[in-house]
Amino acid sequence: MELQRPVIVSRQNALIKKARSLRQKKFRERHRAFLVEGPRTVVELLRSGWGVSCVLCDSMETAEKSNSCTGWDASSRTLRPAYSVRSDVLATISDVATHQGVIAVADMPVRDFSQWCPPRNSLVLVLDGIQDPGNFGTIVRTAHALGMDAVLATPDSADCYSPKCVRATAGSLFHIPVFVAPAMELLPKLTREAFQTVAASVEGARSVTDMHWQRRVAIIVGHETEGVRPGTISLAAETVRIPMSESAESLNVGAAAAVLMWEAVRQWDTGMGHISRSAE
């Protein structure tokens, strides 16, 4: 589709000011919108059918590259607004030192964890106070790749719609639901829904290789340095540890989450657990 003309050249343009404000959480929440940057991630956003307000493209980019990041909205069958923006103006919106030529303003979904209905066979990941948005995004990307059904996060975790987190998900954010709720709400609901709640801990009662995963599993990982909080562990049914070299203190939370998710999926897919992923 053709970009809207003329080229936006003012940093004080209303659309530019709104987009720039979305770098801050309070404005993301106020406008219920967030930024998605980079050609690949924007294309993935558009292909996913996610709500998109507009796409901003560097006026110096080729028409072919710009057009690849615009197109038809499959749900409404309408064209998304796309605007040509002078490069230095687009740079004021970008979260990185050198912008990638295209930034989309995406709609923030409304998700109510209390209304969530998990599949009969379900694997979910709970993030208890994950602080680093890069870690959060990487974990979401891994959870999507391994076929997890949802990521559940406590409110004091990083914002999954921050530019750094969105970038770290590499588009996976648009394919796996992320819910935010306090641990005192998350864990009791998971227990009521018959989830096997398993908290990661260096002092876990069982090794990950000795676990037998149930029909519904919730794996809990915690803060980068403090781990899963004692109050959250007290709400979990079991604790699990990952065997490591004696000289190693701990794993990065993203690596630990990947190991735990992969082992749960492996058991499900090979029928080693109590139920296979494909079982009805």
Per-residue confidence (pLDDT) for residue 72, from 0 to 100: 40
pTM higher than 0.75 for the full model?
yes
Where are any strands of DSSP class E within 1-81? 4-8, 33-37, 52-58
User: What residue ranges define each of the domains in the chain, with the CATH number in brackets?
Assistant: 4-107 (3.30.1330.30), 113-270 (3.40.1280.10)
Per-residue confidence (pLDDT) for residue 67, from 0 to 100: 57
Q: Which two tokens stand for residue 204?
A: 């876990």
Per-residue confidence (pLDDT) for residue 276, from 0 to 100: 43
User: How far is Cα 228 from Cα 221, in angstroms, rounded to an integer?
Assistant: 6
Contact 22, 33 (CB under 8 A): yes
Per-residue confidence (pLDDT) for residue 224, from 0 to 100: 92
106 burial (CB, 10 Å; 0-12 / 13-18 / 19+) is buried
Per-residue confidence (pLDDT) for residue 242, from 0 to 100: 93
Per-residue confidence (pLDDT) for residue 71, from 0 to 100: 52
Q: Is the dihedral of CA 11, 15, 17, 21 positive or negative?
A: negative
Per-residue confidence (pLDDT) for residue 246, from 0 to 100: 83
User: In this predicted model, what pLDDT tens digit does every residue of 88-136 receive, in sequence order?
Assistant: 999 999 999 999 999 999 999 999 999 999 999 999 999 999 999 999 9
Per-residue confidence (pLDDT) for residue 41, from 0 to 100: 93
* Closest to 34 measured CA to CA, from 76, 95, 114: 95
Contact 79, 46 (CB under 8 A): no
User: Which parts of the chain sit beneath pLDDT 70?
Assistant: 1-5, 61-80, 271-280
* Closest to 214 measured CA to CA, from 202, 196, 188: 196
Q: CB-hemisphere CA count at 13 Å for 202?
A: 14
Per-residue confidence (pLDDT) for residue 280, from 0 to 100: 41
